[in-house]
């Protein structure tokens, strides 16, 4: 039996066990040979599309009994794969019958033994469902699934648009000039998007998983709706920006492209594993990855003093995402809201978190504009959250126009909804999305950073409220040490000055005392000379001696 069939059967088992998505299990598997990953991927998708019909045929023919009698565990997946090849593959349509199945083996032998019953069962199913072709047998959620173009955004930090265009042409695609519409059945063309700059539309199934331009980050596979939040925010060069929920990094790199890889972007991601993926993707000089919860960030922190733009794209229900292949192996149940069942408690929890994240973004003192977006179609996560934001921000922010050339707007629930952006997967050929744009009502005033508090004395101590956190303690100790060194320097200088003054005073006192002593000695000598009788007699004797000599 073909190795391809074995790989497909293994992936189908893993999908039933919810071990991953079709793409991750196919292209991320080391067991699947790289030379036939595309073939495996296509066969997985096609088998899943016809799974309902294939199961009905197995259950209503002798195949089911053979599986039970022979206790062939794990064979049902293989039987579904080979039945697809026998009944619905291009080779089957060409009338090749059993030759449509590669190789040989016990499962192929089972199909050969029940060939007549299988074809009869298929005919009855077609009659019952009034199906003219095999495609008419597909369930509605598969037939009506939106077929979206493959969107590729050029990363202008790494390359140019012209270079990417030439690269796509070298892969056999032709650029459609003068149009922004790519026909759904066109497999050989591409064109530029009408609303988002540097965004290209490629054929739906155009394979890029091993393209060198993709691997080197020259272009990024990113849905059109996902490009809208960063494009609407469009911070200018040299700006300081916060991406509050950055992983996996597509919107962050889009912001960097808008800023021409200048300024500074603070990319928050609290999950360590996702932050590692983010760091690998964001190899750009203007991006700082912060592994922390955005809600725990301090808006008054000096490093955020120049932040003027914030993008908040928080966790949401993901109810607008339709380009995943999940619909192939998990058909959604029928409900009032576009066939999507959501737990109300989960929606309430998500909405509370989304509101808190946006209001926290508005606390940064220099912020001028904030963009809030979700990949949800639910009013509870979109218009309701926006209403709560406008009430909770105290009038400091208001709704601003977003993507003026876009036609689909928010639900008409309150004044300003016409400035909100919504997308519809079926009509707009992009994922379901919601974007809102807020701007500050008054110009930002330059605010001084808060003054540093003096360290309390040991006698006063620290109250519980004043006790610094573990993160603040090293900084507090550093400030205290700096203040202590400065005080010691001041005291030392004061002592030196005092010594100099004392020395000068002492020298002056010594000089004055010396003068006083000299004067005193002279005075005393004069008094002594005047008062002494001996000195008078000596003087008389000297005069007598002089007179005698003259004679």
What pLDDT digit, counting tens, does each position of 276-305 carry? 767 766 666 678 888 889 999 999 999 999
In a domain, 277, yes or no: yes
Is 216 annotated as belonging to a binding site? no
Is 250 annotated as belonging to a binding site? yes
Residues 428 and 334 in one domain: yes
Cα angle at 77 between 76 and 81, to 5 degrees? 115
Boundaries of domain holding 531 = 517-551
What pLDDT digit, counting tens, does each position of 348-379 carry? 999 999 999 999 999 999 999 999 999 999 99
Residues 333 and 249 in one domain: yes
- Average the pLDDT over each of 3-7, 146-150, 185-189, 472-476 and give the range with the smallest value: 472-476
In a domain, 453, yes or no: no
Mean pLDDT value of segment 393-417: 96
Residues 315 and 211 in one domain: no
Question: Domain ends where: 204, 221, 238?
Answer: 221
Measured between its terminal Cα atoms, the distance across the chain in Å is 169
Question: Domain ends where: 177, 192, 221?
Answer: 221
Is 13 annotated as belonging to a binding site? no
What pLDDT digit, counting tens, does each position of 144-188 carry? 666 789 999 999 989 999 999 999 999 999 999 988 889 988 889
Name every residue whose Cβ is closer than 8 Å to that of residue 491 and which is 6 or more positions away in sequence: none
Task: Give pLDDT, residue 538.
Answer: 52
Q: Is the pLDDT of residue 58 over 60?
A: yes
Residues 380 and 395 in one domain: yes
**What does the mean pLDDT of the chain come to?**
82
d(CA 520, CA 402): 101
Share above pLDDT 70 across residues of the chain, in percent, rounded to a whole number: 72
Burial class (CB in 10 A: 0-12, 13-18, 19+), 52: middle
Mean pLDDT value of segment 412-423: 97
Mean pLDDT value of segment 48-76: 84
- Average the pLDDT over each of 31-45, 86-100, 208-222, 467-481 and give the range with the smallest value: 467-481
Q: Is the pLDDT of residue 488 over 60?
A: no
In a domain, 550, yes or no: yes
Catalytic residues: 375
Is 62 annotated as belonging to a binding site? no
Q: Is the pLDDT of residue 435 over 90?
A: yes
Task: Please give the residue that has the higher pLDDT: either 271 or 77.
Answer: 77
In a domain, 473, yes or no: no
Backbone angles phi, psi at 538, to 5 degrees: -60, -40
Residues 196 and 68 in one domain: no
Is 425 annotated as belonging to a binding site? no
Residues 132 and 241 in one domain: no
In this structure, are residues 374 and 433 in contact, taking their beta carbons and an 8 Å threshold?
yes
Residues 246 and 301 in one domain: yes
Question: Domain ends where: 387, 408, 440?
Answer: 440
Residues 334 and 375 in one domain: yes
Is 229 annotated as belonging to a binding site? no
The total of structural domains in the chain comes to 4
Q: Is the pLDDT of residue 489 over 70?
A: no
Residues 290 and 399 in one domain: yes
């Amino acid at each position: 039996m073909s190795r391809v069939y074995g790989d497909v059967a293994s992936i189908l088992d893993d999908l039933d066990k919810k071990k991953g998505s079709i793409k991750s299990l196919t292209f991320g598997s080391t067991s699947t040979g790289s030379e036939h990953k595309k073939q495996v991927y296509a066969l997985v998708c096609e088998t899943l599309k016809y799974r309902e019909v294939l199961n009905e045929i197995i259950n209503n023919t002798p195949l089911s009994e053979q599986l039970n009698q022979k206790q062939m565990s794990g064979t049902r997946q293989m039987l579904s794969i080979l039945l697809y090849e026998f009944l619905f593959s291009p080779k089957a349509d060409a009338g090749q019958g059993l030759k449509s199945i590669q190789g040989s083996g016990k499962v192929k032998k089972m199909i050969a033994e029940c060939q007549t019953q299988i074809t009869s069962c298929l005919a009855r199913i077609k009659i019952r469902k009034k199906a003219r072709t095999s495609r008419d047998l597909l369930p509605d959620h598969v037939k009506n699934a939106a077929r979206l173009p493959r969107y590729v955004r050029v990363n202008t930090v790494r390359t140019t648009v012209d270079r990417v265009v030439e690269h796509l042409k070298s892969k056999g695609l032709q650029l459609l000039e003068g149009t922004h519409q790519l026909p759904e059945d066109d497999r050989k063309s591409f064109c530029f998007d009408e609303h988002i700059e540097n965004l290209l539309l490629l054929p739906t199934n155009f394979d890029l998983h091993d393209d060198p331009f993709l691997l080197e980050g020259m272009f990024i596979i990113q849905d059109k709706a996902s490009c809208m939040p960063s494009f609407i925010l469009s911070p200018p060069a040299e700006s300081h920006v916060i991406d509050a929920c950055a992983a996996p990094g597509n919107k962050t790199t889009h912001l960097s492209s808008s800023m021409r890889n200048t300024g500074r972007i603070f990319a928050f991601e609290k999950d360590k594993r996702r932050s590692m993926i983010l760091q690998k993707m964001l190899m750009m000089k203007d991006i700082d990855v912060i592994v922390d919860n955005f809600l725990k960030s301090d808006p008054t922190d000096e490093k955020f003093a120049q932040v003027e733009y914030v993008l908040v794209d928080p966790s949401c229900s993901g109810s607008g995402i339709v380009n995943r292949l999940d619909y192939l192996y998990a058909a959604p149940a029928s409900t009032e809201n576009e066939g999507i069942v959501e737990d109300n408690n989960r929606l309430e929890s998500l909405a509370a978190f989304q509101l808190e994240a946006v209001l926290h973004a508005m606390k940064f003192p220099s912020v001028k504009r904030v963009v809030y977006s979700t990949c949800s179609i639910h009013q509870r996560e979109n218009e309701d959250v926006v209403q709560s934001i406008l009430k909770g921000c105290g009038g400091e922010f208001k709704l601003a126009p977003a993507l003026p050339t876009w036609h689909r707007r928010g639900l008409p629930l309150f004044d300003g909804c016409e400035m909100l952006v919504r997308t519809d997967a079926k009509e707009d050929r992009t994922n379901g999305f919601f974007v809102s744009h807020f701007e500050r009502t008054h110009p930002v005033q330059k605010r001084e950073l808060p003054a540093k508090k003096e360290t309390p004395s040991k006698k006063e101590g620290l109250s519980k409220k004043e006790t610094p956190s573990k993160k603040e303690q090293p900084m507090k100790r550093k400030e205290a040490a700096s203040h202590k060194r400065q005080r010691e320097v001041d005291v030392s200088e004061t002592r030196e000055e005092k010594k100099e003054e004392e020395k000068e005073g002492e020298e002056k006192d010594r000089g004055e005392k010396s003068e006083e002593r000299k004067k005193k000695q002279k005075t005393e000598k004069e008094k002594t000379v005047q008062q002494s009788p001996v000195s008078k007699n000596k003087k008389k004797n000297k005069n007598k001696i002089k007179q005698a000599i003259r004679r």
